[in-house]
A = this chain, B = another copy of it.
Amino acid sequence: MIGIFDSGVGGLTVVKEVMKQLPQYQLVYFGDTARTPYGNKSAELVTRYAIQDVRLLLEKGAKLIIAGCNTASAVALDALKREFPDVPIFNVITPAVAKAVSITKVRRIGVIGTTATIGSGIYERLLREKNNGYQVFQQACPLLVPLVEENWLRKPETKMIVRGYLSGLKAKSIDALILGCTHYPLLRTLIQAKVGRRVRVVDPAEETVKTVQRFLATHQDIDSALAKNGKHIFYFSDVTDKVRNIATHWLGQPVKIEQIKIE
């Protein structure tokens, strides 16, 4: 199975992308709704949670992991690779950066994300490693996760808040913008409208699943270990009506949801 974890429901946007690009592969998802969100918590704590999340997915039979959570990708990736050296673990940040680099003409890239993701400095670090004069402009948008979870996707209040967050980035003349949080693709239309048509928006889920696809094409041993019956299972550490509604609504189909304790 392909295992995907997230702090809560956000990683379902990555699930949706896997269902689209790799429809035959069986998925196991873990959303840590008992401790959600991760984005305003410390790097040490998010790392501890992420390790527990991966361990749970491996126990459930996952052979390949996607950190479907930008916050965990940003702060915990090195720790996860140290903790699980034999497991292929993918993150949602590296592929997004590669895509942004490939499309920017002015070498000015914007990033929006949670407080923890932006505070990690991961995007600056990755772009500096490219050593090619890329400039990155970042904006933490802590209110977008609660707004998306309330399904306030087209409300005037949301438009006003999105405009406020993006106005500074717009003034920096970026031409690529990374949606550095798995909730943000649900606001993509609104974000695109506010940032203007000259700016290309990068959805990390899309790029991440393309990376996984390429990896599987060249790693037959791992690919053949992955079940391909399309029977997915979704674990959450706290199952509320909201979780059920969001899962069904975002994925566009009813899914098998189970509650599981994590500590």
A interface residues with partner B (beta carbon < 8 Å): 33-35, 40-42, 45, 115, 142-143, 146-147, 149-150, 152, 156-157, 160-161, 164, 238-240, 242, 263
Contact = CB atoms under 8 A, between A and B. Distances in A.
Nearest to A43: B240
Contacts of A240: 40-42
Contacts of A115: 242
Contacts of A33: 41
Contacts of A42: 238-240
B157 A161 contact: yes
A33 B40 CA distance: 9
A33 B164 CA distance: 27
A161 B147 CA distance: 11
Contacts of A45: 34, 238
Contacts of A41: 33-34, 238, 240
Nearest to A240: B42
A8 B45 CA distance: 15
12 contacts: A34-B41, A40-B240, A41-B238, A45-B238, A142-B146, A143-B143, A143-B146, A143-B147, A146-B146, A157-B161, A157-B164, A160-B160
A161 B155 CA distance: 10
A238 B46 CA distance: 10
A33 B41 CA distance: 8
A33 B161 CA distance: 25
Given A40-B149, A115-B242, 7 more contacts: A42-B240, A143-B143, A143-B146, A143-B150, A146-B146, A156-B160, A157-B164
A40 B143 contact: no
Contacts of A156: 160
A109 to B, nearest CB: 25
Given A160-B156, A161-B157, A242 B40 contact: yes
Given A41-B34, A263-B263, A150 B160 contact: no
A167 B108 CA distance: 43
Nearest to A49: B34
A155 to B, nearest CB: 8
9 tightest A-B CB contacts, nearest first: A146-B146, A45-B238, A35-B35, A263-B263, A42-B240, A157-B161, A41-B238, A157-B160, A42-B238
